[in-house]
Structure 1
Amino acid sequence: MTAFSSAPAVPVPAGAHQRGPSVLVLGGGTRLPKALRAHGMHVVYGGTPEEFTPAHRDACDEAWLLDGSEDDWVSRAVALHQVVPLHRVVTVRERFLTAAARIGDALGLGGNPLDTVRALKDKSLMRLRAESLMEQGAVRARLMHTPGDVDAFVARVGLPVVLKPRDGSGSEDIAIVRDEDALRSARQRVHALPGALLAEEFLDGPEFSVETFTHEGRHRILALTEKFTAAGAVEVGHVVPARIGADDRAALEEATHRFLDGMGFVEGPAHTELILTANGPRVVESHNRPGGDGIVDLVRHVSGVDIRDLLAAQVAGAEPPAPAADPAGAAATWFLTAAPGVATEVSGWDAAAAMPGVVSVSPGTRAGDTVSPLRGSGDRCGSVTAVAATPDEALLRARAALALVTLRTTPSAQPRTESREGR
């Protein structure tokens, strides 16, 4: 393996040679690189030195390690293309979505249009584009530049409203403004971050996400995920398939098709979040990547197909993989949360892992760690995933297993005030 790196170079194995067409994979784990190599592709992994693990050494042919800005990634990729001509650039990581699209655009490698990817990443652009394309179902929204914009928007749509980062992820720093105290705080946030926050009308109803895979502009529905949130907007549970009737399912699927068509989405995975209001489905946001929070694994357990394997086959121009012979009827993940402070006791994960139907546990907090207030996905403390014949049973198994986990905290002298990762 060779490396283009700001860190020490990774040596070239004896007899190393170019495989098939080269693919640059930006960030993420090893599932996608391994799947691409199985199709005969020459895989160049791009990430930071801290992200590069021994498992990545075994999964990739070359590693390009760089700490830098998005512009750095683009300029280096263009230079790399002169040495190792790239067939495609792909990513399943939120932080690299626009970088991958910019590289593909600069080198003429195809993929989703750059303006589509930018619109999905920037929620204010998404809202503007959706509003101009959708005759009905558009969500009223406005980018906040001054504290006066907050008052003007509230006067237009009424309370409550949602205030969130225009390019956030992981439910981080989303606030539901319900009263005068919250309104005062919203004005202060906009004053401190002009042009960085988006206000949207509050959508009331159950939350879902639609997991899709698109080929040549045709969108295939892989799963509907039912979502559960804590106070605010942080997700604390998911189940696949969603427990909804046929009419509501059809409405969610049709709204997703219409939205992806309107955004100009032409290929690859998408994760589209919706709220089913009394007036029908409304799109909250969408991403040109698989769903996070382990949703990709829930879909794999239920459908028998891993979305990353679908992406690898698409990039390689191969037939999509066949589903597993005996998938589960349903799969659910439930997340552990705890009071803010220093963790003094963490126990029970082994017992949780031994419960019926449990397929994985992910401890996220150890004794001595600081637990932050629940402001984003990164502030959760671990999770349990379980499978079963029905969604209700899968949820029951995941929550029952998690109930065996004990996490006690004591108030810390200097509690952290920021989330560990963004929505």
Structure 2
Amino acid sequence: MTAFASAPAAPGPTGARQRGPSVLVLGGGTRLPKALRDHGMYVVYGGTPDEFTPAHHDACDEAWLLTDGSEDDWVRRAVAMHQVLPLRRVVTVRERFLTAAARIADTLGLGGNPLETVRILKDKSLMRQRAESLADAGAVRARVMRTPEDVDAFVARVGLPVVLKPRDGSGSADISIVRDEDAVAEARARVGDLPGVMLAEEFLDGPEFSVETFTDQGRHRVLALTEKFTGAGAVEIGHVVPARVGAEERAALEEATRRFLDAMGFVEGPAHTEIILTANGPRVVESHNRPGGDGIVDLVRHVLGVDIRDLLAAQIAGVEPPAPAEDPAGAAATWFLTAAPGVATEVSGWETAAQGPGVVAVAPGTRAGDTVSPLRGSGDRCGSVTAVAATADEALDRARGALAHVTLRTDPSSPHSTESREGR
């Protein structure tokens, strides 16, 4: 059963707060709602009861909560709410709400990126179709896999290896690199079980980056280049800002991103565009109309001196963007803890890691008794350390060095845990 509830307006320091222009924030933490309120906006938070915390109550004026709402439910509720509480804007920085927010904005005429643009970025097969017109910017051969025979045909066309991934996915989840005939057989079986769900792409060889941008009236400002490191498959195990590239490579990555966003019809707000720098130049892997996940937004904040969510709040409120901090870090890096699959029997060292030079955050993700899954997506990692320093090399050394103090031992012979991380 769907529950729909509202929380009372959070009073300001002198009592009930005067209502300003209303904005609906779907999902996410409290940074964006707080920034919007600081600009005089009346903030309505939309999410689930589980994710609405006491901190959200203090950051928002109202909360509209659905326990199991579908995208259609959110659109209907927002349209109904608009009749009694007219909305100026709807915004989200959460992947699962991107299309819902765009549909609400489109239905109510609230502006923002076109619904078509958001749908194209969510569905990687549509993105590839649109990008075919950008042959000079690095179009990538790709095809939706509807039958097992499609796998054979695509491999025959582009050769091994190929990449198989969900059309609508995030967090590097369920991505596999098909390198040999055994993997082809596994891919055929997977497509047979999930017809039309998977996308096959040609394999791109080279270092991987993401370009963090902020767009205003169609003008794309590059905030940072993130250098990415991957472990098994395509799962990311580390990031550093700024990326260690030369001026020529940086210019090529930035230009490829701008051309791509133009082709997608991107007009405003943050974007996180993933690119591989091949021997033949940059090739866009995918893009999202939101800030980068995996703590990248925090790396950019440490280095740029401004939080992307604060830039977004200022854009929505129609005010000048915040000034950068006076003493930002020269570089920031995050490194993720991974471990062999099994039940965690010992987890220690996080306190020591937190005391490492330049360490600004530790995020333990696994406790003794939890099951550690094979590394197939971002959710299978076991924690992280973030460190800042004067240079990218030093930030990486600090993050990795601090994480080296953490011990995580697993018992591969025990397939079940007393408590799963997902259940917490």
Q: Give yes or no for TM over 0.5.
A: yes
Please name the residue that 1:58 is paired with: 58
Distance 2:205 2:316 in 1: 39
SS of match in other structure, 1:129: helix
SS of match in other structure, 1:338: coil
Please name the residue that 1:302 is paired with: 303
| 1:327-342 to 2 correspondences below 5 Å | 327-342=328-343
Distance 2:177 2:269 in 1: 32
Please name the residue that 2:286 is paired with: 285
> Does the alignment pair 1:100 with 2:101?
yes
Distance 1:118 1:7 in 2: 27
Distance 1:48 1:388 in 2: 38
Distance 2:91 2:158 in 1: 39
Distance 1:214 1:361 in 2: 31
Please name the residue that 1:256 is paired with: 257
Residue in structure 2 matching 1:10, options 7, 15, 20: 7
Q: Is the 8 A contact 1:7 1:49 kept in 2?
A: no
| 1:12-411 to 2 correspondences below 5 Å | 16-66=16-66, 67-411=68-412
What are the superposed Cα offsets for residues 76-132 of structure 1, whole Å, 9 maximum, x if unpaired? 110011111000000000000000000000000000000000000100000001113
Q: Is the 8 A contact 1:236 1:336 kept in 2?
A: yes
Distance 1:206 1:100 in 2: 33
Q: Is the 8 A contact 1:340 1:415 kept in 2?
A: no
Distance 1:22 1:277 in 2: 45
Distance 1:340 1:393 in 2: 30
Q: Is the 8 A contact 1:344 1:407 kept in 2?
A: yes
Q: Is the 8 A contact 1:378 1:420 kept in 2?
A: no
Q: Which residue identity lines up with residue 16 of structure 2 in the other structure? A: A
Q: Which residue identity lines up with residue 257 of structure 2 in the other structure? A: T
Distance 1:71 1:42 in 2: 24
SS of match in other structure, 2:112: coil
Q: Which residue identity lines up with residue 397 of structure 2 in the other structure? A: L
Distance 1:415 1:156 in 2: 42
Q: Is the 8 A contact 2:345 2:409 kept in 1?
A: yes
SS of match in other structure, 2:7: coil
What are the superposed Cα offsets for residues 341-389 of structure 1, whole Å, 9 maximum, x if unpaired? 1111111001000011000000001111111110000000000000000
Distance 1:393 1:284 in 2: 28
Q: Is the 8 A contact 1:336 1:383 kept in 2?
A: yes
Q: Is the 8 A contact 2:137 2:283 kept in 1?
A: no
Change (3 A) 1:323 1:17: closer
What are the superposed Cα offsets for residues 271-304 of structure 1, whole Å, 9 maximum, x if unpaired? 0000000000000000000000000000000010
SS of match in other structure, 1:76: helix
Tell me how far 1:135 sits from its aligned partner. Answer: 4.1
Tell me how far 1:411 sits from its aligned partner. Answer: 1.8
Change (3 A) 1:411 1:185: same
Tell me how far 1:412 sits from its aligned partner. Answer: 4.9
Aligned-pair identity in percent equals 83
Change (3 A) 1:280 1:9: closer
SS of match in other structure, 1:25: strand
Distance 2:339 2:9 in 1: 47
Tell me how far 1:134 sits from its aligned partner. Answer: 3.9
What are the superposed Cα offsets for residues 246-294 of structure 1, whole Å, 9 maximum, x if unpaired? 1000000000000000000000000000000000000000000000000
SS of match in other structure, 2:49: coil
Change (3 A) 1:104 1:388: same
- The TM-score with structure 2 as length reference comes to 0.95
Q: Which residue identity lines up with residue 304 of structure 1 in the other structure? A: G
Tell me how far 1:413 sits from its aligned partner. Answer: 3.7
Tell me how far 1:231 sits from its aligned partner. Answer: 1.9
Q: Can you give the 5+ residue segments of structure 1 that lack an aligned partner in the other structure? A: none
SS of match in other structure, 2:51: coil
Change (3 A) 1:12 1:309: closer
Distance 1:187 1:420 in 2: 31
SS of match in other structure, 2:277: strand
Bigger mean CA deviation after superposition, 133-142 or 314-323: 133-142
Change (3 A) 1:224 1:420: farther
Q: Is the 8 A contact 1:23 1:89 kept in 2?
A: yes
Tell me how far 1:17 sits from its aligned partner. Answer: 4.9
SS of match in other structure, 1:50: helix
Query: RMSD between aligned alpha carbons?
Result: 1.5
Q: Is the 8 A contact 2:164 2:198 kept in 1?
A: yes
What are the superposed Cα offsets for residues 308-336 of structure 1, whole Å, 9 maximum, x if unpaired? 00000000000000000000000000000
What are the superposed Cα offsets for residues 22-64 of structure 1, whole Å, 9 maximum, x if unpaired? 0000000000000000000000000011110000000000001
Q: Can you give the 5+ residue segments of structure 2 that lack an aligned partner in the other structure? A: none
Tell me how far 1:10 sits from its aligned partner. Answer: 3.1
Q: Is the 8 A contact 1:338 1:409 kept in 2?
A: yes
Change (3 A) 1:147 1:275: same
SS of match in other structure, 2:78: helix
